[in-house]
Amino acid sequence: MKNTKRAKLEAAGWAVGSVKEFLGLSDADAVLINMKLGLSRSLRDRRKKCGLSQVQLAEQLQSSQSRVAKMEAGDPSVSMDLLVSSLLLLGATSADLAKAIRGGEKGKGRHAA
């Protein structure tokens, strides 16, 4: 969040903080969540790059479109194992996975409230 927006909200009486603070997450939990979100974004981007719909990817995974939607949204019910195996199925390399995870770590301040 931009400092000017933060200042305006605080001046109006709003409490401004991060998702980590709001939920009371440990540093490790916050990093793990951001890594998972990085993998989820990478799955969505790779699926689109491959020209696949969620339905088509679901067929390849022997799953459902709604499950793919949950995977791409970083739903808590989706395991990191499923995200990683799905990315590998779409041709991701270990370097691609590392990049996705690092991207998730870099984005940890992006979703602050």
Please report, for the domain that includes residue 102, its CATH number.
Answer: 1.10.260.40
User: For position 108, what pLDDT does the model report?
Assistant: 40
Entry pTM: 0.77
Within-domain flag for 13: no
Within-domain flag for 2: no
Q: Give the count of domains, the chain.
A: 1
User: For position 104, what pLDDT does the model report?
Assistant: 60
> What is the Cα–Cα distance from 89 to 11, expressed in whole angstroms?
50
Q: Please list the alpha-helical segments (H only) found in 1-113.
A: 3-11, 19-23, 27-49, 54-61, 65-73, 80-89, 94-106
Domain containing 46 equals: 26-109
Within-domain flag for 62: yes
Within-domain flag for 15: no
Within-domain flag for 51: yes
User: For position 18, what pLDDT does the model report?
Assistant: 79
Within-domain flag for 83: yes
Residue 2 CB neighbour total at 10 angstroms: 7
Within-domain flag for 92: yes
Within-domain flag for 84: yes
- Encode pLDDT of 28-87 as tens digits: 999 999 999 999 999 999 999 999 999 999 999 999 999 999 999 999 999 999 999 999
